[in-house]
Amino acid sequence: MMSGRAGSALTESDDSQGAIVLCAAARNVPIGLRVPATILAIFRGVADTGSTHEGRVDGRSIAVFRAQDVTKTYTMGEVQVHALRGVSLELLEHQFVVLLGPSGSGKSTLLNILGALDTPTAGRVWFREHELTAASEYALTELRREHIGFVFQFYNLIPSLTALENVRLVTDIATDPMDGREALGLVGLGSRLDHFPSQLSGGEQQRVAIARAIAKRPDVLLCDEPTGALDVETGRVVLEALARIHAELGTATVVITHNAAISRMASRVVRLADGRVVADEINPDRVPASHVEW
């Protein structure tokens, strides 16, 4: 299905806090390092072939992701929670898309399914021509490691590693990564390479997380409430970093948020409510990230 390259073997075990213990690691990462489960999920698995990336068809944008009648239902005791109710949409390469909706609208669930971190109860999902709902766990691991960059609301940095070492967690196992210094430079942290997370502000830590996500040169960047834990000024800096990456690298970018102001910088806005897509609009009046106010 998707192709990658050989990387260092990663094995894990759960401790009493639900954290993950890294038993064998990529070079430059100490053995025995505790790694957040959300990050290890992106690494898990090893591939051994060369990588390929598709471009454009007849000069037209093509779909990076396609979802068809996707539903997701969680069972909590005797109660069923319908997180997604028949969602169908396409996300195109090179677009900057905001998935906008209130808490409980299903936007995080949709992002996790597109990013192969979760599976739908029903429906089908494709990454380019590859059907994810029919893929093996091995193939989904390869997809996450090689083709998708993740940015979460909480930064998931390793406290005992510097900014550069946190980025190298990804570059050491990716097929064709950019240099970690280059990735940090793109988010304005070229002078903070050797700082530990505790020595960085919240906005700087989030920018390290963005650098880590884009360092593998992903086809798509999936961002789950990237400004949710930040104040307005710091959040704007993070949005400017995302906009710069989109402009310079052309990476398809999907940002989920409950903050309608952020949608002003998107090329396309998809609105969700009660597990359904209720609007899908091209934004004719985009503003720079520096002009976003909330």
The pLDDT tens digits of the residues spanning 231-261 come to 999 999 999 999 999 999 999 999 999 999 9
Note whether 170 and 35 are within 8 A (CB): no
Q: How many CA atoms lie within 13 A of 39 on its CB side?
A: 25
State the amino acid at position 28 in one-letter form: N
* Contact criterion met (CB below 8 Å) for 8 and 173: yes
Q: How far apart are CA 189 and CA 201, in angstroms?
A: 12
Question: What does the pLDDT look like over 177-209, one tens digit per residue?
Answer: 999 999 999 999 999 999 999 999 999 999 999
Q: What is the pLDDT of residue 229?
A: 84
Q: Please give the backbone phi and psi of residue 89, each rounded to the nearest 5 degrees, phi first.
A: -165, 165
% residues pLDDT > 70 (the chain): 79
Please report the pLDDT score of residue 294 as a whole number: 85
Q: Give the pLDDT of residue 36.
A: 54
Q: Per the structure block, which two tokens stand in for 221?
A: 């960047």
3-state secondary structure (DSSP) of residue 29? coil
pLDDT classification of 60: cutoffs 50, 70, 90:
low
CA 282, chain centre distance (Å): 22
Residue 124 to residue 268: CA distance in whole angstroms: 23
